[in-house]
Amino acid sequence: MLLTVKWVFLDLGSTLIDETAADTRRIKEMISGTDVTEEAYREKRLEMIRKGRNGDLSAMEYFGLTKTPWHNEDEIPYPDAVPTLTELKRRGYKLGVIANQNYGTERRLKNWNLHQFFDIIAASAELGVAKPDPAIFEWALKQAGCCPQNAVMVGDRMDNDMAPANRLGIHSVRLKRGLGAYHEPQSDDEIPEHTISQLSQLLDLL
């Protein structure tokens, strides 16, 4: 049990937000006009992820594809997002976002009806610093007036979420869903303190 936690920081993509439709759209746009199939791209991406590499960048490089824009409008909250956030707030936790996002994170949170849950939003585009740089975590802690041992980071990525949190002394909870579920730790720093498969299971830890 994470008895000392007062602040819960969460990632967005594959944690609160389902990126499946946006991911599929980008793959289709990237391979359009080529002989690369969606199945081949996905297989190569997973192969690279399991080797500890950036799956998308590696697959794009392998097939000689050009990265196309990401369509945030295709993203939707997971069904367990609102119920879990509602219960966390009811229990008195302060909530924050620490996420690598393009511009407009606050607007998107409002569109998803999630903005009201968060006291702090640390988004990479607006801050000019991205995970796994510890500076984005340190900024969030400073804004919260919170010491690391009183915070937990919840995310899907071992490299971007677990490793920097662990190094700073922030509690770490890995949510195994999305592509992050296929990641394997590449160092001791990436091993999470706790692992869950559904966001609602976070409530059992707090």
**Tens digits of per-residue pLDDT, 36-71?**
999 999 999 999 998 888 899 999 999 999 999 999
Residue 14's nearest CA partner among 120, 202, 157, 159 is 157
Fold exhibited by the domain 7-18+75-204: Rossmann fold (3.40.50)
Residue 186 pLDDT exceeds 90: no
Q: Domain spans of the chain?
A: 7-18+75-204, 20-72
Mean pLDDT of 101-109: 95
pLDDT more than 70, % of the chain: 100
pLDDT band at 185 (very low <50, low <70, confident <90, very high): confident
Predicted local distance difference test score (pLDDT) of residue 184:
85
Residue 1 pLDDT exceeds 80: no
From residue 150, give the alpha-carbon distance in Å to each of 31, 35, 69, 105, 122.
45, 51, 37, 25, 18
- Quickly tell me which residue has 């609102």 as its tokens: 82
Q: Where does residue 32 rank: exposed (0-12), middle (13-18), buried (19+ CB within 10 A)?
A: exposed
Predicted local distance difference test score (pLDDT) of residue 37:
96
